Amino acid sequence: MNAPRLRTAQAIGTRRLDLLPLRVEHAVEMAAVLSDPALHTFIGGTPDTPHLLRSRYQRMTAGSPDPAVSWLNWVIRLRAESCLTGTVQATIRSSRPGPTAEIAWVVGTPWQGRGIATEAARGLVEWLAMQSVHTVIAHIHPDHRASAAVAAAAGLSRTDAWHDGEIRWRRRIGR
């Protein structure tokens, strides 16, 4: 297998959104965006304070310690309102027959139901295809219908595989 290719997040534009590479400076605004405890219904935990989120973003932007893994993270900016509304992420692993990206998304409660997660996930998957990623997967709680709808809209299909109590969704995009 070839040496792993280090990937970095690049700005991605969609019809209404800018997916901007995550920066530590986003922590204060994102702490407010992600402050609703209901966002943790399916993933557990509680909202991070700006200080904790800043520490988390420092670790995330430092990158994976594994050279075969790239951590790519973006904030979602709604252009018309000039505000951050959520995040998308991709963890890319070198594998055969080609790199696999595990993706995830979260949109703050005030912006849900407006197609933002769907548009961001589609934009991310299209970008991953241009990065020669072969397979995209997401793990979704079986009761999280909204995330299942986002995955389906991004072209992922539900599989019979489970991972840590969540259902694996997959899309092959590579040649």
What is the arithmetic mean of pLDDT over 32-42?
93
Q: Is the pLDDT of residue 98 over 90?
A: no
Q: Give the pairing of strands 166-172 and 135-140.
A: antiparallel
- The confidence score (pLDDT) of residue 151 equals 98
- The confidence score (pLDDT) of residue 97 equals 82
Q: How far is CA 131 from CA 21, 46, 102, 116, 126, in A?
A: 16, 34, 14, 23, 9
Work out the burial of residue 128: count CB atoms within 10 Å of its CB; fewer than 13 is exposed, 13-18 middle, 19 or more buried: buried
Phi/psi of residue 145, nearest 5 degrees: -65, -35
Q: Is the pLDDT of residue 38 over 50?
A: yes
- The confidence score (pLDDT) of residue 174 equals 65
Q: pLDDT for 129-164, tens place per residue?
A: 999 899 999 999 999 999 999 999 999 999 999 999
Q: What is the pTM of this model?
A: 0.94
Contact 6, 92 (CB under 8 A): no
Contact 39, 32 (CB under 8 A): no
- Sole residue written with tokens 């557990």: 44
Q: Is the pLDDT of residue 49 over 50?
A: yes
